[in-house]
Amino acid sequence: LYLNLMGSSNNTVELSGKAMYEKEVVFTPFSRSHFIIAKTFASSLFGRYELGAHLAIEKGEQQYLKMKGGIVWAQTLWFHRCLCVFAMARANKTKERKYMAQAKRIHKELTNSLKNKNPNILHYVSLLNAEKAALKHTKNQEDDVRKLYNDAITMSARGGYVHDAALAQERFADYLLNIAGDFNEARYHIEGAIQRYTNWGAMGVV
């Protein structure tokens, strides 16, 4: 995954190289859970949202990937899963209901975790709030959606989560370009996302 993000691999979401070839690995349930996490992260960061959404919806290894009592990366995984299904709900209107049902469930669980004093996911929930609002977008709510995205960017950046700030700017740019029709502002945030990904060392994403 790290080599993919750094641009040192010819792959983006495929986790294959000298160390392993994903199609030939025989996984244990525990090792497969880590594979799914890496695959989901890659899908989210490389914009392969359909693959990420598919991984979110399919069943398997739930004892390791559950949000409560799962492995240490579980809540980060669920954030990226939720982002992928929100993104697909925006992109694929014919299957919006299917994706929204999954997104709402995960979003609710992460929100409840935040309410139960888990500060580590504040910036995650902030971006997901923006994604949810963007799907319900009406012209008179545009300012509210913009504020939610800007809050998510600021919160991630202040917390030192450079890659999450970049992701928030990328998603904001998508909203501005494809829903709000604000080309100039979208360009500003795409350039900001590129700079943040570059600072993080993710030249493969850029």
Give the tens place of pLDDT for each residue, 147-196: 999 999 999 999 999 999 999 999 999 999 999 999 999 999 999 999 99
Find residue 21's DSSP bridge partners: 16
90-126, pLDDT tens digit by residue? 998 888 888 999 899 999 999 998 888 888 899 999 9
Helix ranges, the chain (H) = 2-6, 29-45, 49-57, 62-65, 74-91, 96-115, 122-135, 142-158, 162-175, 183-200
- Residue-wise DSSP of 63-86: HHH-SSSS-TTHHHHHHHHHHHHH
Phi, psi torsion values for 16, nearest 5 degrees: -140, 145
* pLDDT score of 17: 67
Q: CA angle, corner 152, sides to 79 and 169, nearest 5?
A: 90
Q: How far apart are CA 172 and CA 174, in angstroms?
A: 5
* pLDDT score of 63: 47
